[in-house]
Amino acid sequence: IRPVVNMSVVTQVKISFILFGILGVDEKSQVLTTFIWESLEWQNEFTVWDQEECGVEWIAVARNLLWVPDIVINEFMEKNLAPSVPYTYLHSSGLVYDGLPVRVVSSCSLNIYLFPFDIQRCTFTFNSYIHLSDAVQLELVGTDQDIFQASINKMATMGEWQLVGIKSEKVVVPTLEGSTYDELRFFVSVRRHSTMYVVNLLIPSCFLITVDLFSFILPIQSIDRSLFKMTLVLGYTVFLLSTNDLLPNTGNTIPLINVFLSLCLTMMVTSLMETIFITNLLRGSAHYTAPPRWMKAFVLRFLGRLVGLPPKPEPQEHLVFKNPDTREMADVPTESKGNETTERKATLKEAETLQVLKNLSRDLQAIHRHVVQQLKGSPSSEDWIQIGLIIDRLLFIFYIFFTSVSFVSIIIIWVA
């Protein structure tokens, strides 16, 4: 029976604990594993002796020979695997001191949205499993601050977690039958050490995005930029695969870091598609019809000036035709007005030669025009190339804008 002479006397159980280790958090099964030293004190009115006469103040007694309060932690999910201590200590005044190590696997609602900058708050609820408030009442020894300070001093293993606070609260919970029972709640806050995740996940992602950003500088006409970007996307995919173990996997919420990583991949894939589109415009434009007038006006004049690529001045064509020699040659026959037949014959011959030369010149001009066309592409193709370059520059600006805005907003969410 409960060790009181008069059954209407309540047994006060004093509870305290020291958090000795934070062993880990399992996001999937939503449990926090900790190691605590629990200590309980209560009064046993049947084990009182005279210290003077017996000559001893404290004695150790096997726990299973005594009444011990049935204090449990409500959040317990597993059997206590800590080594069992068979003894309790008795004082001559009847005080019983019971201390035992407990490996607490407690259920805890984990919110990993802010991973790896998350703080988890888990509750340990101590209460007597069957005794009501009229039989057993719970009391905290010392204050929250004492427990927190002692835990900080004694903490041996924290893993990737850091203890940031312990708060306690005593609650008297009414039962359905009209009586009450005592509960002592401890709120344990732990913060994750995020350095490892920043170094292994966030910084490499930022580097790859930066490389992707800089690849826009590669001149698209002479270097196959899409090949470069494809390699980057491939590299990032391998990176994601290899770091997959670091990410928490849980069904209920998607952590912000997953959004961040997906965003990086999306940006890379989008810029790859953009490059493919621009490459198509630049290389395949020889077979396109001329761009429509509105597009020329809008893209070449307006957008071109906006992104700093103003339309080129019209190229001066047919420079060769302004060769002064051709004009002189044409003028020669009209000026010569010889009367003699020999001279006439000579002129006739000259005219013939002139005709041949003129034909030759026309042929040469045709060849020249053809070669120039082959080298420079058709005027419509040139327009398309200019349009491609302008759109490339414009999308690059959009890309920088979107990347910085989304990164800054994610960082603000994390910091706040």
Q: How far is the CB of 137 from ligand NAG (least distance, A)?
A: 15
Residues 6+ apart with CB under 8 A from 29: none
Residue nearest to ligand NAG (CB): 6
Q: How far is the CB of 134 from ligand NAG (least distance, A)?
A: 12
8 touches ligand NAG (CB under 6 A): yes
Q: How far is the CB of 6 from ligand NAG (least distance, A)?
A: 4
1 touches ligand NAG (CB under 6 A): no
DSSP-based three-state secondary structure for 34: strand
* Closer CB to ligand NAG, 91 or 131, in the complex: 131
Q: Where are the alpha helices (DSSP H) in 243-314?
A: 256-284, 293-295, 304-306
CB 290 within 8 A of CB 318: no
Q: How far is the CB of 3 from ligand NAG (least distance, A)?
A: 15
64 touches ligand NAG (CB under 6 A): no
* Closer CB to ligand NAG, 6 or 342, in the complex: 6
* Closer CB to ligand NAG, 8 or 334, in the complex: 8
Identity of the amino acid at 258: N
341 touches ligand NAG (CB under 6 A): no
* Closer CB to ligand NAG, 48 or 61, in the complex: 48
Quote the crossing angle between the two packed helices 203-214 and 225-242, to the nearest 10°: 170
CB 185 within 8 A of CB 124: yes
* Closer CB to ligand NAG, 24 or 94, in the complex: 94
6 touches ligand NAG (CB under 6 A): yes
* Closer CB to ligand NAG, 5 or 176, in the complex: 5
Q: CA-based angle 111:26:104, to the nearest 5?
A: 105
CA 79 – CA 126 distance, rounded (Å): 16
Q: How far is the CB of 4 from ligand NAG (least distance, A)?
A: 9
* Closer CB to ligand NAG, 2 or 167, in the complex: 2
Q: How far is the CB of 8 from ligand NAG (least distance, A)?
A: 4
Q: Which helix (H) or strand (E) holds 374?
A: helix 341-376
Residues 6+ apart with CB under 8 A from 263: 406, 410
The residue among 390, 50, 111 whose CA lies nearest residue 256 is: 111
Alpha carbon 313 to chain centroid, angstroms = 47
Q: How far is the CB of 10 from ligand NAG (least distance, A)?
A: 10
- Find the binding residues for ligand NAG in span 89-128 (CB under 6 A): none
Number of residues that bind ligand NAG (CB under 6 A): 2
The residue among 388, 403, 376 whose CA lies nearest residue 276 is: 388
Interface residues with ligand NAG (CB under 6 A)? 6, 8
